């Protein structure tokens, strides 16, 4: 069973039967695509370009039976991934479906090792026996310009060759080296395909604010901006068709068919146009209608009346909360709320902001899977960055007010939780304090008993201590008297030695003087007088020794003179 309204998700090819409101856009765009080799579909983000391609243009091409529509999506280039090149992603959509026989590589008979878009288109053309043209649809084409410059150049060069070159010159050059004729190299059906120009059409879908990037293709597509079609937001007539027509369809849907009361339809349109002040965003319309479908299913309604659509503002608000609540991990839920409510909104001016994915992962601790879930639910819009990767922003202005309301509720809830936690902490601290007081009282009682016991033991201990102190005091006094007596004896002995040393000094008997002084020094090495006397004695001994030596030499000289002959004298 399927929904009548896909909600915020883009329409897919399988949902073409419930896609309404874009008939004129579908007709005009398809007419342009058939006339021109390369065309551009542009519009603001959220106007429904992907839905128009999936649910209108591709089914239209398939029903006509000539053009085989092939949708290409590059995704933004990321430096941390070994991404396939844009041209390789384009080759991929031209490959045979799994389980089918691939076409023989008949072109390898002429030139081996070929890798080009022209080559892949020829192989596709051979599988279809030349009966089908090819419509290459590049959705979100702005993603191409996030890739390295050499890859962008490779893509536009090969695309131009596929569109405008019947047979590349390299094939003719290869044939000139062969002795066989072309019809001898290829089978008849192969030759027919080789010579038959491929009818290839290209449609580039791009955001309005990225249109300037197409100038980078001017070297190979100088007239690229001449064949453009703008997809605008829905007017009231288109919106009314998109609201009413899916409701009356019969089929395998989640609820039976139903109708809208005119007053209910008017209320919805008035809300979507903000009182006829603006055109209608397709995404916002689908969110509203998806909610109404759920109400119809819940209450088994056959007619939606004005009372059933009185709370449309709440629908958008609830949509935000529902998509956030769908995140299974509680921590990732909080991370998603913080990202959207604090990082992607400027609250003072109530406007959206955008953040690069690197900032998001670094600051908000959000996982890549969660970010992808937010994009898939169309709460966030991912836009390719020219530096590679994506920037993210809130998908629609209508979500700004619900997000701010949710933020206010979250902060209030966090404040209350913080107060409750603080109160619980205070109560825990009081309980700990009361427990400490009880323990203190118990300890005090025990200590009182112990104190009484201690008092008795202390009295006995004091008595014993007094006896011990008296004995110690008496011992110390006796010891002090003995030491005093010893010091007195040493003093008298030192004085006697000093006196004796003085006598020997008077008679210049310095050796005996030093013996007495050193004996005194051995008794008391701290005695400064003794140390000084020792030094004086040593100094005097040295001077006296010199004098005696001089006298001996002088006497010797006299003796020698006396022994010399008279003439020598």
Question: Is 298:269 a contact under the CB 8 Å cutoff?
Answer: no
Task: Establish if 2 belongs to a structural domain.
Answer: no
Question: Do 379 and 481 fall within a single domain?
Answer: no
pLDDT at 379: 86
Question: Do 480 and 350 fall within a single domain?
Answer: no
Task: Establish if 504 belongs to a structural domain.
Answer: yes
pLDDT at 204: 97
Question: Do 390 and 414 fall within a single domain?
Answer: no
pLDDT at 569: 46
Instruction: Read off the CATH number of the domain in which 181 is found.
Output: 3.40.50.300
Residue 214 Cα distances to 46, 161, 219, 326, 474, angstroms? 20, 18, 11, 39, 114
Task: Establish if 114 belongs to a structural domain.
Answer: yes
pLDDT at 262: 96
Residue range 366-377: mean pLDDT, rounded: 89
Q: CB neighbours (10 Å) of residue 550? A: 10
CA 45/CA 380 separation, integer angstroms: 12
Q: Is the pLDDT of residue 568 over 70?
A: no
End-to-end CA distance of the chain: 156
Query: Which tokens sit at 291?
Result: 């909610």
Task: Establish if 493 belongs to a structural domain.
Answer: yes
Share of the chain above pLDDT 70, in %: 98
CA 405/CA 3 separation, integer angstroms: 29
Q: Is the pLDDT of residue 495 over 90?
A: no
> Which of 372, 38, 364, 502 lies closest to 227 in space, CA to CA?
38
Question: Do 42 and 74 fall within a single domain?
Answer: yes
Question: Do 97 and 188 fall within a single domain?
Answer: yes
Question: Is 5:253 a contact under the CB 8 Å cutoff?
Answer: no
Confidence of residue 295 (pLDDT cuts 50, 70, 90): very high
Question: Do 362 and 416 fall within a single domain?
Answer: no
> Which of 412, 408, 378, 417 lies closest to 396 in space, CA to CA?
378
Question: Do 434 and 342 fall within a single domain?
Answer: no
Give the domain extent around 162: 22-233
Q: CB neighbours (10 Å) of residue 418? A: 10
Please write the tens of the pLDDT for every residue from 152-167: 999 999 999 999 999 9
Lowest mean pLDDT among 35-39, 466-470, 550-554: 550-554
Residue range 75-87: mean pLDDT, rounded: 83
Lowest mean pLDDT among 106-115, 216-225, 456-465: 456-465
pLDDT at 352: 85
Residue 71 Cα distances to 28, 55, 127, 136, 449, angstroms? 19, 12, 19, 6, 93
Instruction: Please give the tally of structural domains in the chain.
Output: 3
Question: Do 120 and 98 fall within a single domain?
Answer: yes
Task: Establish if 118 belongs to a structural domain.
Answer: yes
Residue range 480-506: mean pLDDT, rounded: 85
Please write the tens of the pLDDT for every residue from 120-129: 999 999 988 8
Q: Is the pLDDT of residue 499 over 90?
A: no
- Going by their DSSP bridges, the two strands 380-384 and 67-72 should be labelled as unpaired
More confident residue, 165 or 509: 165
Q: Is the pLDDT of residue 285 over 70?
A: yes
Please write the tens of the pLDDT for every residue from 158-196: 999 999 999 999 999 999 998 888 988 999 988 998 988
Domain final position from 350, 365, 395: 395
* Range picked from 53-57, 222-226, 280-284, 448-452 for highest mean pLDDT: 53-57
Question: Is 134:67 a contact under the CB 8 Å cutoff?
Answer: yes
Question: Is 123:103 a contact under the CB 8 Å cutoff?
Answer: yes
Domain final position from 364, 395, 426: 395
Question: Do 41 and 190 fall within a single domain?
Answer: yes
Question: Do 206 and 334 fall within a single domain?
Answer: no
> Which of 142, 136, 138, 139 lies closest to 77 in space, CA to CA?
142
Question: Is 152:216 a contact under the CB 8 Å cutoff?
Answer: yes
Question: Is the overall model pTM greater than 0.75, yes or no?
Answer: no
CA 258/CA 248 separation, integer angstroms: 6
Instruction: Read off the CATH number of the domain in which 352 is found.
Output: 1.10.10
Task: Establish if 414 belongs to a structural domain.
Answer: yes
CA 463/CA 182 separation, integer angstroms: 133
More confident residue, 155 or 521: 155
Average pLDDT, the chain: 88
Q: Is the pLDDT of residue 244 over 90?
A: yes
Domain final position from 395, 426, 449: 395
More confident residue, 532 or 59: 59
Q: Is the pLDDT of residue 525 over 50?
A: yes
Question: Do 428 and 470 fall within a single domain?
Answer: yes
Residue range 222-236: mean pLDDT, rounded: 94
Task: Establish if 278 belongs to a structural domain.
Answer: no
Q: Is the pLDDT of residue 59 over 90?
A: yes
Question: Do 225 and 328 fall within a single domain?
Answer: no
pLDDT at 102: 61
Question: Is 44:211 a contact under the CB 8 Å cutoff?
Answer: no
Q: Is the pLDDT of residue 144 over 90?
A: yes
Task: Establish if 277 belongs to a structural domain.
Answer: no
């Amino acid at each position: 069973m399927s929904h009548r309204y896909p909600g915020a998700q883009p329409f897919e090819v399988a949902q073409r039967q419930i896609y309404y409101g874009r008939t004129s856009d579908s007709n005009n765009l398809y007419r342009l695509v058939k006339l021109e080799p390369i065309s551009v579909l542009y519009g603001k983000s959220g106007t429904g370009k992907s839905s128009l391609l999936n649910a209108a243009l591709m089914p239209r091409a398939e029903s006509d039976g000539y053009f085989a529509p092939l949708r290409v999506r590059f995704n933004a280039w990321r430096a941390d991934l070994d991404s396939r090149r844009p041209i390789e992603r384009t080759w991929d959509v031209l490959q045979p479906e799994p389980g089918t026989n691939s076409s023989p590589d008949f072109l390898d008979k002429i030139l081996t090792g070929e890798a080009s878009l022209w080559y892949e288109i020829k192989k596709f053309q051979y599988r279809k026996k030349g009966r089908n043209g090819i419509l290459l649809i590049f959705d979100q084409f702005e993603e191409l310009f996030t890739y390295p410059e050499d890859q962008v150049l490779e893509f536009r060069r090969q695309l131009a060759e596929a569109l405008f070159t019947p047979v590349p010159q390299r094939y003719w050059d290869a044939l000139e080296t062969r002795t066989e004729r072309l019809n001898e190299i290829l089978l008849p059906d192969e030759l027919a395909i080789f010579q038959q120009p491929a009818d290839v059409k290209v449609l580039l879908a791009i955001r309005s604010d990225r249109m300037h990037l197409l100038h980078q293709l001017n070297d190979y597509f100088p007239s690229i901006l001449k064949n453009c079609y703008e997809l605008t937001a829905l007017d009231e007539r288109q919106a009314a068709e998109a609201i009413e027509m899916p409701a009356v369809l019969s089929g395998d849907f989640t609820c039976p068919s139903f109708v809208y009361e005119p007053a209910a339809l008017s209320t919805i349109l008035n809300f979507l146009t903000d009182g006829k002040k603006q055109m209608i965003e397709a995404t916002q319309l689908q969110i509203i209608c998806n909610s109404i479908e759920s109400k119809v299913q819940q209450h088994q309604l056959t007619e939606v009346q004005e009372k059933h659509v009185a709370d449309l503002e709440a629908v958008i608000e609830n949509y935000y909360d529902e998509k956030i609540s769908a995140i299974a991990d509680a921590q990732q839920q909080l991370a998603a709320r913080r990202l959207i409510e604090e990082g992607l909104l400027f609250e003072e001016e109530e406007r959206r902001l955008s953040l690069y994915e690197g900032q998001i992962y670094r600051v908000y601790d959000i996982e890549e899977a969660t970010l992808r879930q937010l994009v898939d639910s169309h709460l966030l819009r991912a836009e390719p960055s020219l530096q590679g990767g994506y920037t993210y922003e809130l998908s629609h202005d209508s979500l700004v007010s619900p997000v701010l309301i949710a933020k206010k509720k979250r902060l209030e809830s966090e404040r209350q939780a913080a107060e409750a936690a603080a109160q619980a902490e205070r109560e825990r601290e009081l309980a700990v304090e009361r427990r400490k007081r009880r323990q203190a009282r118990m300890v005090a009682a025990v200590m009182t008993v112990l104190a009484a016991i201690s008092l008795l033991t202390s009295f006995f201990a004091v008595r014993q201590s007094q006896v011990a102190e008296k004995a110690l005091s008496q011992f110390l006094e006796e010891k002090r008297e003995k030491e005093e007596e010893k010091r007195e004896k040493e003093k008298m002995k030192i004085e006697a030695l000093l006196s004796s040393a003085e006598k020997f000094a008077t008679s210049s008997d310095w050796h005996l003087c030093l013996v007495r002084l050193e004996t005194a020094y051995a008794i008391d090495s701290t005695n400064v007088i003794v140390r000084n006397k020792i030094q004086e004695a040593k100094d005097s001994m040295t001077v006296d020794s010199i004098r005696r030596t001089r006298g001996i030499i002088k006497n010797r000289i006299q003796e020698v003179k006396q022994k010399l002959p008279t003439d020598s004298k």
